[in-house]
Amino acid sequence: MMAESRHYRALSVETLPDRLGGVAEIASKIGGDASSWKVREVGDGNLNLVFIVAGASRKVIVKQALPFVRLVGESWPLPLYRAFHEHNALVRQAVRAPGSVPEVLHYDEPQAMIVMEFLERHVVLRRKLINGERVAGLASFVGKFCARTAFRGSELSMKSADKKADVGLFSGNVELPAITEALVFTDPYHDAEMNNHTAGLDPVVARLRGDAKLKTKAQRMLQRFASNTETMMHGDLHSGSIMSTATRSRAIDPEFAQYGPMGFDIGMLVANFLMAYFSQPAHRGEDASSYQEWILDVVEESCAVFESEFRRLWATERSGMLYPRALFEDQGHDSMPACEAVLAGIWRDAWSTCGIEMHRRCLTLAHNADFEEIEDVALRARLEARNLMMGAALVHADGDVAGGAGVCEIARSFNERDFL
Amino acid sequence: MMAESRHYRALSVETLPDRLGGVAEIASKIGGDASSWKVREVGDGNLNLVFIVAGASRKVIVKQALPFVRLVGESWPLPLYRAFHEHNALVRQAVRAPGSVPEVLHYDEPQAMIVMEFLERHVVLRRKLINGERVAGLASFVGKFCARTAFRGSELSMKSADKKADVGLFSGNVELPAITEALVFTDPYHDAEMNNHTAGLDPVVARLRGDAKLKTKAQRMLQRFASNTETMMHGDLHSGSIMSTATRSRAIDPEFAQYGPMGFDIGMLVANFLMAYFSQPAHRGEDASSYQEWILDVVEESCAVFESEFRRLWATERSGMLYPRALFEDQGHDSMPACEAVLAGIWRDAWSTCGIEMHRRCLTLAHNADFEEIEDVALRARLEARNLMMGAALVHADGDVAGGAGVCEIARSFNERDFL
């Protein structure tokens, strides 16, 4: 490591070759003379600098945290240590769900910088969904990634001492989860300072904020999010945190990682599929329905794969202290009813999270391109209203939903209705 | 601090005056010449050395962790750092429930030693319950201590960053909670190596271990115990962890402290009251019933005080991120239905914990004197069977119990039945 890396300095396209060219571990992987590297800044997220660096041997991604929220500016400081948690999360996800995240090539803690595999030809999934592109194997990827990280990061699998140490480590990730706590769970339901929503939505917004039972249930889920350290969550798994080609996908950007409910990631991701679903009439017009049905197929199959993978891991990898074989198989008892009870709890959290995510993406600070790119404001409001009302239905359901297929049925019925 | 305190050495009655007499902070509080101190070893628990030291000014308690389980011996090592967690817990409890725990006078981390207030004329509550002695104000103490520590250690009250830091700190307390995880939640339900139970109980034990639904529910509670960091629990609040005079009580020995479910402490404590209740016919004979009813009054009133205190704190001290006033009062909505929903969740955990504690105290390693001191083995088995079967009923109830009064009704009905 260079002496200069003791003190954080933000990289730029101009300074990157000079600064990283001296780090043998990186330079040898990129290949060639650093002065010949092609460097492009591609960060389109809310928080970080992201560079593609192409050398003689390969392309890599250089991701560096900024000490503030990029979307807002220096007025909203954010700690650099989130790169530490992102690195720790990537390393764990690579073990728990092999092949599902970019490989880490180098990590520099003082520079809050991770050098990782460049995902050739991958595009952010949200863009593909807006464009109406299909991704083969997407549901399998989603179901397996969520089930494997959920199961293998929990005390169904981990030694308790290791899991407690990990909970301690990630309990240091404070500010980013705090953004989720406020922006996702609370701000949609009151007139928070940075909120904005589409003109015309006021009646629906008033309905949600006037629903004290809905707010109670959202806060119950917040308490579970903040206090239920069941497994290491990705913590921000929306369609902007998945990159795909036509046939394969990877999960990126786990800087919001912390230990939390096993159902959180899949619930948040399904919400983003449902928002893609509800927004399609604006992007495809008359031709929307077949692509909408493809999205629902992905939702239904993702849930089915999650369940079957979770059951497989339960049967074959249950080595933690929870639901030990000594209480079930070793006494001649089938443990699968216990597995189904655990799955029911996971889905309860998932559908609650899903509904809340559908709210926050239309009502608080960080909106989705799926809806934001709809220029016809009246149409946007009409589609967002369907999404918001379905979100409320999911939160109210308390998990009493007939699985992924049931959620898709609800989506179809809300897609036919108008609330404005 | 003396130089010698860098290296841990167990104290003894003989060495204590010499070793602590040189610590000015302690010696000045005890008063007089150390050689004149009267030292008595009174540790009757399973884990530690406990001395009463009487000097010219006052008496103090010196509690020192041993590097193994005292009950078992050096073959079961146990880390000294539990004194660190006990100290941290005592300091927090003193703030969150003032006057409810002994005052800490000195803490020596390398010696795993806490010097604290001597509780004049206080007797271990379990002994009083076996003796049939009443303690005025006991229910008020129990209800307020449990409600205040539950509420004020949660994100209903604490700043999230402080609470996360605390969760990280207590996540280092591994081995003691691991004892609870195994001995309380799992070992009752299989033939674990160190288990023992009263002769004659085999049919009831077989019934419990043959009940896969019961075991599934016990493991669900284990997952919540290990993963639900709602508040800082005492973690081992049985009737041996309370000391009382005829009119006042304090909670001691929080070395099992960790962040966990808000309902755990009160659930475990009520279980110990119920075991006192079921054991009374052996201690009082024909006269048992009036004292039994006094115990049930304590249970019912403890639960009522817990609820009223929790509601009071909800209304007056709700300063954390959960259920913020911005979502309720500030929008003209009553938040008390949300408080009742939170309480319902607390009681669900409490009654589940209560039932499991009733099992483990008759079936695993650490039994209660309430039952153990019954010399008539057949009678003991008959009374323990009532306790075990009521425990199963509480676990199966999934929280569908009509509060403390409902639990007392169930206890009365089981007290009339025989299961052997």
Contact between residue B68 and residue B59 where contact means Cβ atoms under 8 Å apart: no
Using 50, 70 and 90 to split pLDDT, how confident is the model at A257? very high
- B275-288 residue pLDDT tens: 999 999 999 988 89
B54 touches chain A (CB under 8 A): no
Distance from CA of A120 to the nearest CA of B (A): 38
Helix (H) or strand (E) holding A376: none
B212 chain-A contacts, CB cut-off 8 A = 328, 333-334, 337-338
| Confidence check: pLDDT of A176 > 80 | yes
Is B331 a residue whose pLDDT tops 60?
A: yes
**Do residues A102 and A90 make contact, with C-beta atoms less than 8 angstroms apart?**
yes
pLDDT in tens, B74-131: 888 889 999 999 999 999 999 999 999 999 999 999 999 999 999 999 999 999 999 9
Element (H, E) at A209: helix A202-209
Rounded distance between C-alpha atoms, residue A241 and residue A129, angstroms: 13
Contacts of A324 in chain B (CB under 8 A): 186
List pLDDT tens digits, range B251-267.
999 999 999 999 999 99
CA–CA distance, A253 with A234 (Å, rounded to integer): 8
SS3 A158: coil
- Interface residue B193 vs chain A (CB under 8 A): no
Angstrom distances, CA of residue A65 to CA of A20, A113, A285: 16, 7, 39
Q: Provide ipTM, 2 decimals.
A: 0.94
pLDDT of residue B45: 67
pLDDT value at A304 more than 90 = yes
Give the model confidence (pLDDT) of A73-100 as tens digits: 888 888 999 999 999 999 999 999 999 9
What pTM value is reported for the model? 0.95
**Helix (H) or strand (E) segment spanning residue B115:** strand B113-117
DSSP, residue by residue, B27-80:
HHHH-S-GGG-EEEE---SSSEEEEEEE-SS-EEEEEEE-SEETTTEEEEE--T
Taking one residue from A and the other from B, the number of pairs with CB-CB distance under 8 angstroms is 142
Cβ pair B164:A181 closer than 8 A:
no
Task: Give the integer Cα–Cα distance in Å for A252 and A236.
Answer: 10
The minimal CB distance from A222 to the residues B174, B259, B322 is found for B322
Cα distance between residue A379 and residue A345, in whole Å? 36
A323 touches chain B (CB under 8 A): yes
Q: Which of A174, A219, A326 sits opposite B327 (nearest CB)?
A: A219
CB contact under 8 A, A223 and B230: yes
Cβ of B178 within 8 Å of Cβ of A165? The answer is no
Residue A216 · residue A352 · CB < 8 Å: no
Indicate left, alpha or beta for A397 from its phi (over 0: left) and psi (-120 to 50: alpha).
Answer: alpha
Contact residues, chain B, for A318 at CB < 8 Å? none
User: Tokens 């706590």 label which residue?
Assistant: A181
- By the CB < 8 Å criterion, does A182 face chain B? yes
Are B219 and A338 a contacting pair at CB < 8 A?
yes
A227: which chain B residues are within 8 Å (Cβ-Cβ)?
154-155, 228-230, 259
Give chain B's length. 420
Surface-to-core class of residue B75, CB atoms within 10 Å of its CB (0-12 exposed, 13-18 middle, 19+ buried): exposed
Query: Contact at 8 Å (CB) between A115 and A5?
Result: no
- State the nearest Cα–Cα gap between B13 and chain A, in angstroms: 35
Q: To which residue do tokens 């105290």 refer?
A: B361
